[in-house]
Amino acid sequence: MKAPAFDYAKPASLAAAFDLLERHGDEAKLLAGGQTLMATLNMRLSQPGILVDITGLSGDKSLSGIRLEDGKLVIGALTKHREIERSPLVAEHVPLLAQAVPHVAHIAIRNSGTFGGSIAFADPAAEYPVCAVALDATLVLVSRKGERKVPARQFFKALYETDLKPGELVARAEFPIQAPGYRSVFLELARRHGDYAITGVAAHAKVVGGVLSDVRLAYLGMGGIPMLARRAMAELEGKPYSADTVSAAQGALAGELDPTADLYSTAATKLHLARVLTGRALAALAGGTA
């Protein structure tokens, strides 16, 4: 199938982009890397009247680049996956994200797809949303009215549904930089490398003398949004890493993850795989290998 006919505009400024969004309302769709949007157009899952191509705004600092600012690592929406993968700043200050990005699709897609496109699309099996939730990142959204900040944990509302309002764009994200004593582990299972994950875990904790604290466990592919497993986190909080604590955390997952069966895996299989990954992630956190 081919995409239905649409108009195309490439604004040279944010103000011009807001004008287009205002003029065309629901008929307008933002185009960033196109790696998700073009597929949905070709499958006729979406039939916008006009595509507003925001790649011409990459000179706007509020939407682009990777930098340290006020003790946070800031990633602009127009940053390509491959730039994140190759960034020494990301590797040093947000190692969870650095571990996650090679799992995002394939290199050809990572060369074009953008950070903001992935956050805005909000696929529950995508890697960035789950990292943002695990690390309690803040998303900065921009509209003609100005900017507003939304914690990632409040941004993802339901399957493919976010807190974005009409006329608003994802501008950038602010990630807390990893403090001394903290470790991060990202693990996922996919049928083939580069496919969307069956399940995965973003794990982050302070580890001192084998004792885990400030534990975060967030899961992809285990519900309509990135799932923060608060009960499992509580089972580990302030306790030394041991078979018993791991088992208690794995047991708690059943009550808070909500996987749905797909063509390849039942919900029970997904839950089992999430528990296995949790065991591996906690061992890696405690062992300090990641």
Ligand X SMILES: Cc1cc2nc3c(=O)[nH]c(=O)nc-3n(C[C@H](O)[C@H](O)[C@H](O)COP(=O)(O)OP(=O)(O)OC[C@H]3O[C@@H](n4cnc5c(N)ncnc54)[C@H](O)[C@@H]3O)c2cc1C
Regarding 33 and contact with ligand X (CB under 6 A), the answer is yes
Regarding 187 and contact with ligand X (CB under 6 A), the answer is no
In 3-state terms, the chain is what percent helix, strand and coil (to 5)? 40, 25, 35
Regarding 35 and contact with ligand X (CB under 6 A), the answer is yes
For ligand X, give the closer residue by CB, 105 or 281.
Answer: 105
Regarding 121 and contact with ligand X (CB under 6 A), the answer is yes
The span of 25-33, 66-74, 147-155, 203-211 binding ligand X (CB under 6 A) equals 25-33
Least distance in angstroms from the C-beta of 262 to ligand X: 14
Regarding 162 and contact with ligand X (CB under 6 A), the answer is no
The rounded distance, in Å, linking the Cα atoms of 266 and 109 is 28
The span of 117-125, 143-151, 231-239, 282-290 binding ligand X (CB under 6 A) equals 117-125
Query: In the beta sheet, which residues pair with residue 1?
Result: none
The span of 8-16, 23-31, 250-258, 269-277 binding ligand X (CB under 6 A) equals 23-31
Q: Which run of H or of E encompasses 204?
A: strand 199-208
Closest CA to 96 of 214, 172, 175: 175
Instruction: Give me the 49-88 binding string for ligand X, x by CB under 6 A, dash otherwise.
Output: ----------------------------x-----------
Regarding 252 and contact with ligand X (CB under 6 A), the answer is no
For ligand X, give the closer residue by CB, 52 or 73.
Answer: 52
Burial (CB < 10 A; 0-12, 13-18, 19+), residue 163, is middle
Helices (H), 68-160: 81-85, 88-93, 95-100, 107-112, 115-121, 127-134, 152-155
Q: Determine phi and psi for 224, rounding to 5 degrees.
A: -75, -20
104, 166, 260 from 27: Cα distances, Å: 29, 11, 32
Regarding 225 and contact with ligand X (CB under 6 A), the answer is no
The span of 86-94, 108-116, 152-160, 228-236 binding ligand X (CB under 6 A) equals 108-116
The three-point CA angle 286-139-54 to 5° equals: 125
For ligand X, give the closer residue by CB, 34 or 224.
Answer: 34
Least distance in angstroms from the C-beta of 109 to ligand X: 5
For ligand X, give the closer residue by CB, 169 or 232.
Answer: 169
The rounded distance, in Å, linking the Cα atoms of 110 and 54 is 17
Regarding 37 and contact with ligand X (CB under 6 A), the answer is yes
Regarding 281 and contact with ligand X (CB under 6 A), the answer is no
For tokens 């509302």, the residue is 157
- Out of 3, 6, 34, 269, the only residue in the binding site for ligand X (CB under 6 A) is 34
- Out of 14, 21, 31, 94, the only residue in the binding site for ligand X (CB under 6 A) is 31
Query: In the beta sheet, which residues pair with residue 156?
Result: 162
The rounded distance, in Å, linking the Cα atoms of 47 and 32 is 16
- Out of 76, 95, 116, 226, the only residue in the binding site for ligand X (CB under 6 A) is 116
In the chain, the N- to C-terminal Cα span, in Å, equals: 44
Please count the residues of the chain. Answer: 290
| Tokens found for residue 80 | 């390509």
Q: Provide the binding-site residues for ligand X, judged by CB under 6 A.
A: 29-37, 39, 77, 104-105, 109, 113-114, 116-118, 120-121, 126-127, 164, 169-170, 196
